[in-house]
Amino acid sequence: MEKVEFTAAVKDVFDACKHLSDISDGARKFTPDGRMVGDIGEVIAKFFFSIELHNVGRYDWDGTYNDRNVQIKTTGGGGTYLKEPPTEGFADGLLMVFFIDRESGEYELVYNGDIQRVWNTLNNVLLDKSGAKIISLNRLRELQTSVSREDIIPGRRNISNEVR
């Protein structure tokens, strides 16, 4: 799969949702839900970063890279949430956070590094109503600057948004 083909398909999904919202005269907002947006991020991780995905529906890790657990988060907004930290494999676990641009279908890899670094910054953050802690994409971009090379998953296959 090439990035151009993938981003065009993602754009089509968001365009279809916008069209449905428009023709319903605002009776409903047709927004891709968390599951679908999450699946988009997992496919990005698989095809463009060589992540070996686990079966759908696991509550802790989404896949592995070089025998390290990986959690994948994807958003079209200004931040993402993390629920309780996974217990098994947490010490050397990795986190990838993608932003999906709804207009273009393009993605940005906002954070690509150790999950512990992110959780450490959330120590004093209160849980929201759903039991999650929210972190802004800007804060994740700041954290990215201090990630060690060995904790960055390299990209592959025709991508332009790899964290360097």
CATH of the domain at 28: 3.40.210
- For residue 81, CA distances in Å to 12, 19, 22, 32, 46 come to 26, 28, 29, 17, 21
Global confidence as pTM = 0.87
Residue 130 falls inside a structural domain: yes
Residue 161 lies in a domain: no
Tens of pLDDT, residue by residue over 139-148, are: 999 999 999 9
Instruction: Kindly state whether residue 110 falls inside one of the protein's structural domains.
Output: yes
pLDDT of residue 162: 44
pLDDT in tens, 121-135: 998 888 888 888 999
Beta bridge partners of 63: 53, 70
In a domain, residue 121? The reply is yes
The whole-number pLDDT of residue 2 equals: 80
Mean of the pLDDT values across residues 69-74? 96
Q: Which one, of 138, 111, 133, lies nearest residue 122 by Cα?
A: 133
Write out the residue range of the structural domain in which residue 131 sits.
Answer: 3-149
Q: What angle do CA 90, 91, 96 make, to 5 degrees?
A: 60
Please state the domain count of the chain: 1
